[in-house]
Amino acid sequence: MSARIDLNADLGEGFGPWRLGDDARLLDIVTSANIACGFHAGDPDIMVETVAAARARGVAVGAHPGFHDLRGFGRTRIQESPRRIERDIAYQIGALQACAALAGARVTHVKAHGALANLSNEDEAVADALARAVAGVDPGLALVVMPGLAAERAGARAGLTLVREIYADRAYAEDGTLSPRGSPGAVIHEAQEAAARVVRMVEEGAVFTRGGRCIPVEIDTVCVHGDNPEAIAMAQAVRAELERAGFSLRPFTNSFVEMCPGA
């Protein structure tokens, strides 16, 4: 039997009449979708429609909460208390759960977005706020984390199921965090380069930093970002190369199928 891996993308990141990326085509490629919950992007129409489209394809549905930052697309660091962060995350998860129910699906996981995710990887108090929010809403939800960082430790302390993620199109700093987007080479644009890099990381169970460091990690899922012009080509290349290497592409959780038989 081939090894199993999940391929995820951040979707539903429009607002009102404005849409970002080609969600429909990405949903034909990925196996899990992280859907914006209204703070950095998304609204009730987009959330319900994106969940319904995922359900139709058997793609698992997750909440993608961020800072309340429509103008900055959730990439602005906002100084909030851990209590406020916890409540804002819980609010967003609940919003997507309601929209998913309207679409006949169920939220299976949570993945923090943008500046919130980066901060949760660096700050133990923010990481604990994220984990408490997830566990408080539904301890059965999986938490998607970058391996070896604060969010993973917080999720373990909270007793959550952890899904460890690598990025297809982002370079890594020496401490295992993502290189800042504004730095040269932080974002990988060439699809085949990204795909070959992903296969190497998954096969070797490690991430490779820009300085050449190899950091051993567990890997359960690969993220391809949907908010850039290369998204479709990159997702197709990553999926094709993983399958060529013998990996079976499936959601990291099967609770979506269990709730929605025949989906």
Contact 131, 154 (CB under 8 A): yes
Domain boundaries, the chain: 4-259
What digits encode the pLDDT tens for the residues 112-171? 999 999 999 999 999 999 999 999 999 999 999 999 999 999 999 999 999 999 999 999
The HSE-up count of residue 14 (CA atoms within 13 Å, CB side) is: 16
Question: 180: how many CB neighbours lie within 10 A of its CB?
Answer: 10
pLDDT at 2 over 60: no
Q: HSE (CB half, 13 Å, CA atoms) of 28?
A: 7
pLDDT at 254: 55
DSSP state of 111: -
CB 160 within 8 A of CB 131: yes
Q: Is the pLDDT higher at 262 or at 103? A: 103
What is the model's pTM?
0.92
Number of neighbouring beta carbons within 10 Å of residue 172 = 21
Q: Is 178 exposed, middle or buried (0-12, 13-18, 19+ CB in 10 A)?
A: middle
Task: Copy the structure tokens of residue 232.
Answer: 């479709």
The total of other beta-carbon atoms located within 10 Å of residue 83's CB is: 11
CA distance 195 to 169: 9
How many C-beta atoms lie closer than 10 Å to residue 45's C-beta?
14
Q: How far apart are CA 100 and CA 138, in angstroms?
A: 15
Contact between residue 221 and residue 59 where contact means Cβ atoms under 8 Å apart? no
**pLDDT tens digit sequence for 84-119:** 999 999 999 999 999 999 999 999 999 999 999 999
Distance CA 262, CA 56 (A): 10
Report d(CA 93, CA 157) in Å as an integer.
20
DSSP label at 187?
Answer: B
Give the distance, in angstroms, between the CA of residue 13 and the centroid of all CA atoms in the same chain. Answer: 12
Answer whether residue 180 shows pLDDT above 70: yes
Output the CATH code of domain 4-259. 3.20.20.370
